[in-house]
Amino acid sequence: MVKKLKIQMNGRSDEFGTPKEGLNYLLPFLNKEWVVWECAYGKGSLAKHLINEGFNVIGSGEDFFKTKMDCDCLITNPPYSLKGQFLERAFELKKPFAFLLPLTTLEGKFRGELFRNNKIQLIIPNKRINFETPSGKGSGSWFATAWFCGNMNLENDLNFVILRGKNKAK
């Protein structure tokens, strides 16, 4: 995304970096052998967390809507103002994907039809995530999020995950 993902939505920034804790909910569901495309790179915090966990990560700002990367899976925290477009593109690419999105993503006519025509599965954290914000401070989110997954063949459509101990998911 050439616009550096500083899109405004209702007067608020669309820039919510993913802290390590947010990724920890997703880790048990990922294949360590996958090459991951972080397709909404932003400042790269999610990519860095994935690399630190041993994943081969590609992507550093390519236009997700115009580029096709040789990868096994798409993992990102896309700009929420473009969530419908990101989901539509991910389904078009027919690759496994996991996008960290507000639970309200389930609402709406366009996304409702998209989910009816494609299988969507959710990994739902047991608490709200403290996102990294432009101010540099972690921020307690005012909205609940989940990992929206497609083509990942998870065992359940709704997966409720609790972090225990040193942020290990169970």
Give residue 129's pLDDT: 87
Segments of the chain scoring below 70 in pLDDT:
1-16, 133-141, 165-170
Give me the residues paired with residue 100 across strands: 147
Residues 39, 158, 123: CA angle, nearest 5 degrees: 35
Give residue 168's pLDDT: 64
The domain ranges of the chain are: 8-169
pTM: 0.86
Give residue 9's pLDDT: 37
Tokens coding 82: 């473009």
Give residue 131's pLDDT: 79
Residue from 50, 112, 111, 106 nearest 76 by CA: 50
Residue from 93, 86, 94 nearest 110 by CA: 86
Contact (CB, 8 A) for 95 and 74: yes
Residue from 93, 60, 79, 56 nearest 6 by CA: 79
Considering the segment(s) 8-169 as one domain, its CATH architecture is: 3-Layer(aba) Sandwich (3.40)
